[in-house]
Amino acid sequence: MAKIIDGKLISKQIKDELKAEVAKLKEEGREICLAVIQVGNDPASSVYVGNKKKACEYIGIKSLAYELPEETTEKELLDIIDKLNNDNTVHGILVQLPVPEHINEEKIINAISPAKDVDGFHPASVGALSIGQKGFVSCTPAGVIQLLKRSDIDITGKDCVVIGRSNIVGKPMGMLLLRENGTVTICHSKTKNLKEICKRADILVAAIGKPKMIDAEYVKEGATVIDVGIHRMENGKLCGDVDFDSVEPVAGAITPVPGGVGPMTIAMLMNNCVEAGRNQN
């Protein structure tokens, strides 16, 4: 029987710590502010943006919502980002992705000041992570590290296998595990002998995007299994990249879906906002 890593509980603890810090900053007359920009009305994005606003409210962070129409031009969006970059009452800027096709995502990410890049997507933030300098870290992989640390799962010297090499999760996940002294392997769709590599892992992070792909055959007895995937099944229920029922009897610890990694992403976004506020004040 694996220990279930409760992301809902751990994210609540983090949010409550941040709430206390934000209250203290308010007493000193300092208010933290996050600008959230959504272009168009993709339903999934609207849910994510709504959850981010709710988390801000809970913690006491002011949120500015920019709900822009689908037809917004790249120039209009860049002008708003420029204005927010130069507004010293705004500490964090987040452009919900994906942006409509006529807008160049890379240009938008590059336009956000690294000091306000609470998503950790700017090349300066990614570069800082890779050379061990201070900078914002992508929220989902940062959340995974918190799940491990707060569950007393030591990373030092462990064989860590990450499946997935996205800029937002897989690559920064590998860098963070390396920073914590793990021995890191990053696997992807072209990896040969995936099963054998995964089976060596003490800590296995699945960020593949394929429902229930990882079953017990990929998992070493007693391994920690972190599931970053989230998928809606035909029966309406959610599942991850890991086949929970198959893996749970073999693993030493495992994150459920929902209630594992998911809630941590927003908690770490809030953490980055508080850090941005601290740094800029």
Stretch that binds ligand GUN, among 12-20, 60-68, 76-84, 94-102 (CB under 6 A): 94-102
The answer to whether residue 190 is catalytic is no
The amino acid at residue 227 is D
Residue 53 known to be catalytic: no
Query: For residue 183, what are the β-bridge partners?
Result: 159
119 assigned to active site: yes
Cis preceding-peptide flag for 256 (omega within 30 of 0)? no
* Residues 6+ away with beta carbon under 8 Å from 240: 206, 211, 212, 227, 228, 229, 230, 231, 255, 257, 260
Residue choice 68, 84, 94, 99 for contact with ligand GUN (CB under 6 A): 94
By CB under 6 A, residue 139 contacts ligand GUN: yes
Residue nearest to ligand GUN (CB): 97
- From the CB of 134, what's the least distance to ligand GUN, in Å? 20
The whole-angstrom separation of Cα 174 and Cα 172 is 5
197 binds ligand GUN (CB under 6 A): no
Q: Which two tokens stand for residue 196?
A: 């054998």
User: Based on CB atoms, which residue is closest to ligand GUN, 100 or 252?
Assistant: 100
Enumerate residues 6+ apart whose C-beta is below 8 A from 66. Answer: 35, 36, 37, 38, 80
Residue 96 binds ligand GUN, judged by CB under 6 A: yes
x/- string (CB under 6 A) for ligand GUN, residues 69-88?
Answer: --------------------
Give the interface with ligand GUN as residue ranges (CB under 6 A).
94-97, 119, 139
Active site residues: 52, 96, 119
